[in-house]
């Protein structure tokens, strides 16, 4: 973990300090993803099967979730099952309460404009799997989609060893009302959702986080003519912690490692005005790495970690807004006082007790969040992600008499005569 003094850095050095890991922008990775996507687009099911055998180690299969979910309930302890069900309830409670409402506004007498919300017809959910099946991600995607009323949910996840479906992902699917899941991952899974392949239907929008390969595949298919929409750029995990002297170094270290263990491409940053805290946190990270099961992955991630020393907390927030992290932890004594100044973050964890882990699993808001600086313009997954807004306009005879001439005048200013005549024609109906 590199230690940097912010006020001694040039503008170029500051930009480098906040740069994402290079492997996320690797030209070879992008070229490889483009090749896989094109294979599936052109070759369909046969190409998908070949790519899945090569990369996943197994052909895509459609699994009914009920049998595997039953096994999960048998294998897990009652406390574990209760924890999963609690998470599902909290997620549903939050997203049901945050559903948008239709509105109607009379912008002029007799002229009413409404905004009405409709669910997306068919959505594809990508759930990270393989060696680390993230059943929690399916809850964070599937429940908001179900709450929004999506017509059809198509879920894909990389297979476990032997080409099987993880039982806890199946249990999460059951809690989301999803009856079956395809076992296919990576760029090939994203391409299958984007174009359709075999029994996997083409979807209108793809949602879910993943590796740099998945994030690049989502970006690529969304850029193609007729390609699906995507929820956001959601690649390898990020955490920026702002901490003051009140923070417990062991807890800060634990929070940093909780994201570093996700992926070698994950990035964690500590910003603090306390040099002593920075030193103690660095020591605590090394101590906790000793018996961390995923220490190899965490150490690889820590190569891109930063400890940034600043003058004060105000400067810390300014750095956070520049970096726009996926996760922002405010490990400070009076965290609420900093929240109003935060503009760019996927999720904020305010206060010494607000563990990022709570947001990952149990709080209720989705943990599928924008990465790579996308929090400057994107928010995390919510019920809104699976909805679209339409405007509906109704015009009374009185309103038509009032607005037809001004509308025609504006059209003629833009030299759009047919537009103007369409407005004039309404006057003939109401004379």
262 tagged catalytic: no
d(CA 321, CA 355): 20
- Catalytic: 327? yes
CB 329 within 8 Å of CB 241:
yes
Q: Which of 144, 202, 197, 138 is nearest to 166 (CA)?
A: 138
Spatial separation of the C-alpha atoms in residues 3 and 271, rounded to whole Å: 10
262 Cα distance to chain centroid: 15
Structure tokens belonging to residue 423: 């407005």
Q: How far apart are CA 371 and CA 209, in angstroms?
A: 9
Looking up tokens 């006057």 gives: 427
Q: Compute CA 94 distance to the chain's CA centroid, rounded to the nearest angstrom.
A: 17
Return the axis-axis angle of helices 27-55 and 212-223, rounded to nearest 10°. Answer: 100
Burial of 339 (0-12, 13-18, 19+ CB in 10 A): middle
Residues 231 and 381 sit within 8 Å (Cβ to Cβ)? yes
| Strand ranges inside 65-121, DSSP E | 103-108, 111-119
Q: Which of 327, 414, 419, 428 is catalytic?
A: 327
In angstroms, what CA-CA distances link 114 with 146, 154, 387, 402? 24, 31, 16, 19
Judging by DSSP bridges, how do beta strands 2-5 and 306-309 pair with one another?
Answer: parallel
Residues contacting 315, CB < 8 A, separation 6+: 6, 273
For the chain, the farthest-separated pair of C-alpha atoms sits apart, in whole angstroms, at 84
Distances (CA, A) of 264 to 99, 119, 233: 36, 36, 18
Determine the Cα–Cα distance for residues 115 and 391; give it in Å rounded to an integer.
Answer: 5
Q: Which residues pair with 240 in a beta bridge?
A: 269, 328
**Residues across the chain:** 431
User: Could you say which of 95, 326, 356, 367 is catalytic?
Assistant: 326
In sequence order, what are the residues at sequence separation of 6 or more whose Cβ sits closer than 8 angstroms to the Cβ of residue 154?
Answer: 122, 123, 124, 125, 182, 193, 200, 201, 203
> What is the rounded CA–CA span in Å between residue 98 and residue 380?
13
Which sequence positions are flagged as catalytic? 326-327
């Amino acid at each position: 973990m590199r230690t940097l003094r912010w006020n001694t850095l040039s503008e170029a050095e500051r930009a480098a300090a906040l740069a994402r890991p290079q492997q996320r922008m690797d030209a070879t990775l992008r070229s490889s993803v483009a090749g896989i996507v094109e294979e599936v687009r052109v070759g369909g099911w046969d190409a998908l099967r070949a790519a899945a055998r090569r990369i996943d180690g197994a052909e895509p299969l459609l699994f009914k979730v009920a049998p595997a979910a039953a096994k999960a309930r048998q294998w897990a302890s009652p406390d574990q099952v209760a924890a999963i069900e609690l998470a599902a309830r909290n997620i549903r409670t939050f997203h049901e309460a945050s559903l948008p409402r239709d509105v109607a506004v009379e912008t002029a007498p007799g002229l009413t404009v409404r905004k009405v919300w409709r669910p997306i017809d068919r959505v594809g959910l990508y759930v990270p799997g393989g060696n680390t099946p993230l059943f929690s991600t399916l809850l964070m995607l599937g429940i908001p989609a179900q709450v929004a009323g999506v017509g059809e949910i198509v879920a894909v996840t990389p297979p476990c060893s032997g080409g099987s479906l993880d039982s806890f992902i199946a249990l999460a699917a059951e809690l989301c009302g999803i009856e079956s899941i395809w076992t296919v991952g990576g760029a090939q899974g994203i391409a299958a959702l984007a174009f359709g392949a075999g029994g996997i239907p083409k979807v209108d929008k793809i949602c879910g986080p993943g590796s740099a390969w998945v994030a690049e595949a989502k970006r690529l298919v969304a850029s193609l003519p007729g390609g699906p929409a995507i929820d956001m750029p959601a690649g390898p995990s990020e955490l920026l912690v702002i901490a003051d002297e009140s923070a417990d170094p062991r807890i800060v270290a634990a929070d940093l490692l909780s994201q570093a263990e996700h992926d070698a491409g994950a990035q964690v940053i500590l910003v603090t005005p306390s040099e002593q805290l920075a030193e103690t946190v660095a020591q605590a990270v090394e101590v906790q790495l000793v018996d961390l099961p995923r220490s190899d992955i965490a150490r690889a991630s820590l190569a891109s970690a930063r400890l940034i020393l600043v003058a004060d907390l105000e400067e810390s927030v300014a750095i956070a807004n520049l970096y726009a992290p996926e996760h922002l932890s405010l490990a400070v004594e009076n965290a609420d006082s900093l929240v109003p100044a935060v503009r760019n973050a996927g999720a904020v964890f305010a206060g010494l007790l607000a563990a990022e882990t709570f947001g990952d699993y149990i709080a209720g808001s989705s943990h599928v969040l924008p990465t790579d600086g996308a929090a400057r313009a994107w928010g995390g997954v919510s019920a809104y992600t699976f909805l679209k807004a339409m405007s509906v306009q109704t015009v009374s005879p009185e309103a038509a008499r009032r607005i037809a001439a001004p509308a025609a005048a504006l059209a003629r200013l833009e030299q759009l005569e047919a537009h103007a005549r369409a407005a004039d024609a309404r006057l003939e109906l109401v004379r």
